[in-house]
Structure formats: structure tokens, C-alpha cells
Amino acid sequence: MDKVRTEEDSMGQVEVPATALYGAQTQRAIDNFQISGNTMPADFICALGLIKVAAARANAELGLLDSTLAASIADAATTIAQGQYLDQFPVDIFQTGSGTSTNMNVNEVIASLASQQLGQAVHPNDHVNCSQSSNDVIPTAIHVSAELALVNLLLPSLRGLTDAIGAHEESLKDSIKTGRTHLMDAMPLSLAQELSGWRTQLEQAEQRINDCRSQLRQLAQGGTAVGTGVNSDSQFAAHFCFHLNASCGQTFKPADNFFSALASQDVAVALSGQLKTLAVALMKIANDLRWMNSGPLSGLGEISLKPLQPGSSIMPGKVNPVIPEAVAMASAQVIGNDATITIAGQSGNFQLNVMLPVIACNLLQSITLMANSCVAMTDKCFADLVVNHDIIAANLAKNPILVTALNGRVGYNKAAQIAKRAYQEGRPVIEVAVEMTELSREQLSALLDPKKLI
């Protein structure tokens, strides 16, 4: 049997693994919440470390903690912010809705580390949690972890994909192809124009995400239990944000209204909605790539994606568009995450939202999935994209919808007759139009020139 030690909290004694850095409250959570086996994301735990560093330094400045004690807490919390000791945070995602168990898990680990450094007892509540409540710490950690993940992960990856698509536009401006609406042949456009649509979707998604960030940088810290700031100095929030920004180089500030910051998760819901919109855009782009790559013989075959792995366990030589498929699945997950966050956002009962942990986990997963999807598409789709110009040109020449350009000269009904005959006989529109109209080949060539039609 593993060795244990006895820890005590306000409810009594609990046996804890002898080597664990956490204490009684964490152990109670481990025993109580055996729901999913999934723990809080590392980025969230690291954000809590940053919060505890800033809180300790603010408390020291305000004379609420001895400077030596505060320094030891800050040093211990810094190791958490750096991603150390992640195995000491085993609490399940599906726990108390305020995230109190995770907050106390972090407090207990930091208290243990600080106690070892100081050679004296550091209390997880009285010292590490000074001027704080789980009710403002966890909402703050949601905002901090999400903002840092956006800045460090998603936005650079999204910009990289946008730039990769944009880089192809100049070289493809003279590549004219058949457009498609309803998956049926339509008027032509250039490949550059088609890609510009994708690029603009991503640019607008980036802008909408950035629009959320000014509110995301407003933090609940300082509201403590219900938004009134009880047991916290009135200047704590400002001092806290100063030290947090010094640690991570951002521009966080106290929330305009602590009551809203604790009772609602509207900012997380809004950001999740924009992540969902990005997921929809990526799924559209991924599916377009799959269609354009389809074949190689009986599909569209307009492009060739880089072959990455065998595509079948039974059909030799088959290669599939695996990256667009993976991105489409990741996008579906993000759309599902948004539904969870939306439901969770409705659970702001009176002064506190009580689905904070699941909001944190889904939001961070969505950011990570979108960031990694952008990288995958940049590196494994667009870096080696091959355009099959011959196939595109051959399909364009036989596109009966080019006849739309003749509407003004021969009328809609005559143009429709030309289109139907061209399609039935598998002939270019211009050849049939020469036979069915009084227009010369030169006139028809000018009217049907795809470059003029785009």
C-alpha cells in the first residue's frame, strides 16, 4: 500500500499520498469528483500560477503579507506558472462549479513549496489565497489563460495561414476556372479570386476575435466572494493587474463591474462564438480543398494536395486528403464546445456562474484546436499546393454556363438552348454558338473570353 500522511482542513482529517504537494482539500476533490478522468488544462494551471504571483506581490505592497512570506509564495507560484509540478493538479474538470477545488489545489501546492523554502508553515487560505476568493480567481484565470493562448498560439497561427493563402493569390490571378454554385457549373472566376474569399474569411475571423480581447483583458480579480471586494483592499485589484502585466507583458485591468465579472461569463461566450465562426470558416475551406483535390481521375482534380500517408488498408495506392478531414473534425469539436459554453454561460445564478471549469476547458481546447488546425493547413496543404492548370482549362472550355455572357446579345432563351446543346454534345460553347447565332467567331471569342468575364 502506498504511504500516506494525515492532513487536516476545516472539515477534519484526510489521508493524502505521502509525496503529494497538495493537501486535504485537494484530496477531498479527488475522492468526490471521479467523473471524467480529465484534469484542468496546463495553460489554465499556469495562468493560476501567474495570478498567485501577482496576488502575493500586491498583498506585500499593501502591507497585507510579510514581504519575505510573500516573496516565497511568489517564487513557488512562479514555478507553477512555468509549467512545473503539473502532476500535482489531479482534480477532475467536472467539479464544484466555482472551480474552488482547483483554486485550493493550486493554493495547497504553492503553500507546500513555499513552506519548504521558508522552513515555516505557509497557509493555503490565509496566506496564498489572501485578498482572493475562488469566485474571482477562477473567472480571472479563464480570461488570462484565454488571452495568453490567443496572443501566443492562435493569432500567430491564424495569421500564418492567412498569409500562406495570400501568397498564392498573385501567382494564380491568370488561372481562370469554372465557378460552382449548388455544386453545379457556374460563371468563371480566377483561382486568385477564389482564394481571396478564403483569405478574407480568415482576416474577418481574426478581426472579430480581436474585437473580444478588450473585454477579455478586464479581470474579475478584486471582487472576491460576490463582487463587493470583501476581505480585499480597495487598491488590491489595481496593484494585482500591475504585477500581472509585469509578469506576462499584457495590458490586463480591473473589470469595470465586478458583479458582472463574477455572475456572468458573457465574454467567454462571445469569444467562443468567434472561435466557432473561425471553425465554420476552416471547415468551409477544408471541404473546398477536399472537393478540388477529389479524383485523381473521376473527381474534379483541380489541385493536388501533398500525399502524406497511405489512404486505405485494402486499396493499394489510395491517398486521401487527411489534413482537411482532420481540420473539419477539429472544427466540429469547436462548434460542439461552443454549445457547451453557451449552456454554461446561462448558469450565472445570482452572484456567481457555477459552470466555470467546463467553460475554461472548452474555451482553451477550442483555441488550441483552431491554432493547430491553422498550422496543419499552412504547412501540409498550402505550402505544397499544386494547381492542375490543364484540367482547369479543359473544364472551363466546356463549361456551358459561359453562355450567360451572350444573354444581352441573343436573349436568355436562345442562350439556354446553346448551353443545353453544348452540354449534350460535349462541345465548347463557342462552337455551338457559331452554329446557332449570327455572331462571328471573333465576336463570340470576345464575348466569351473568360478573362473578361471575371
Q: What is the pLDDT of residue 336?
A: 98
The 10s digit of each residue's pLDDT in 35-79 is: 999 999 999 999 999 999 999 999 999 999 999 999 999 999 999
Give the pLDDT confidence score for residue 204 in this predicted structure.
98
The model carries a pTM of 0.96
Share of the chain above pLDDT 70, in %: 100
Task: Write the CB contacts of 209 (distance below 8 Å, at least 6 apart in sequence).
Answer: 150, 154, 155, 158, 271, 274, 275, 278
Residue 397 pLDDT grade (very low, low, confident, very high; cuts 50, 70, 90): confident
Between β-strands 218-219 and 253-254, what pairing exists: parallel, antiparallel or unpaired? Answer: parallel
Whether 312 is catalytic is yes
The continuous run of DSSP H or E covering 4 comes out as: strand 4-9
Q: Which helix (H) or strand (E) segment is 8 a member of?
A: strand 4-9
* pLDDT, mean over the chain: 97
Q: At what angle do helices 100-118 and 42-61 cross, to 10 degrees?
A: 60
Domain at 144-170+188-211+263-390: CATH architecture: Up-down Bundle (1.20)
pLDDT value at residue 101? 98
Going by pLDDT thresholds of 50, 70 and 90, the confidence category of residue 398 is confident
Residues β-bridged to residue 387: 303
What topology is assigned to 4-130 in CATH? Answer: Fumarase C; Chain B, domain 1 (1.10.275)
Kindly report the CATH class assigned to 398-453. mainly alpha
Q: What percent of the chain has pLDDT over 90?
A: 98
Closest CA to 329 of 380, 376, 389, 268: 376
Q: What is the pLDDT of residues 309-329, one digit of tens each?
A: 999 999 999 999 999 999 999
- If you average pLDDT over residues 106-133, what whole number do you get? 98
| pLDDT band for position 231 (cuts 50, 70, 90) | very high
Active site residue 182: yes
Which residue, 265, 225, 219, is CA-closest to 54?
219
Q: Report pLDDT digits (tens) over 173-228.
A: 999 999 999 999 999 999 999 999 999 999 999 999 999 999 999 999 999 999 99
- Is the model's pLDDT at 136 over the cut of 60? yes
- 243 pLDDT band, cuts 50/70/90, is very high
Residue 80: which pLDDT band, with cuts at 50, 70 and 90?
A: very high
pLDDT of the residue at 107: 98
pLDDT single digits (tens) 342-391 = 999 999 999 999 999 999 999 999 999 999 999 999 999 999 999 999 99
pLDDT at 454: 93
Tell me the pLDDT band of 2, cut-offs 50, 70 and 90: confident
Domain ranges (residues) in the chain: 4-130, 144-170+188-211+263-390, 398-453
CA distance 97 to 149: 23
Q: Which of 182, 234, 298, 313 is catalytic?
A: 182
State the catalytic residue, choosing from 171, 214, 312, 445.
312
Decide if pLDDT at 30 tops 90.
yes
Query: What's the first-to-final CA gap in the chain, in angstroms?
Result: 76
| Residue 250 reports pLDDT greater than 70 | yes
Calculate Rg over the CA atoms of the chain. Answer: 30
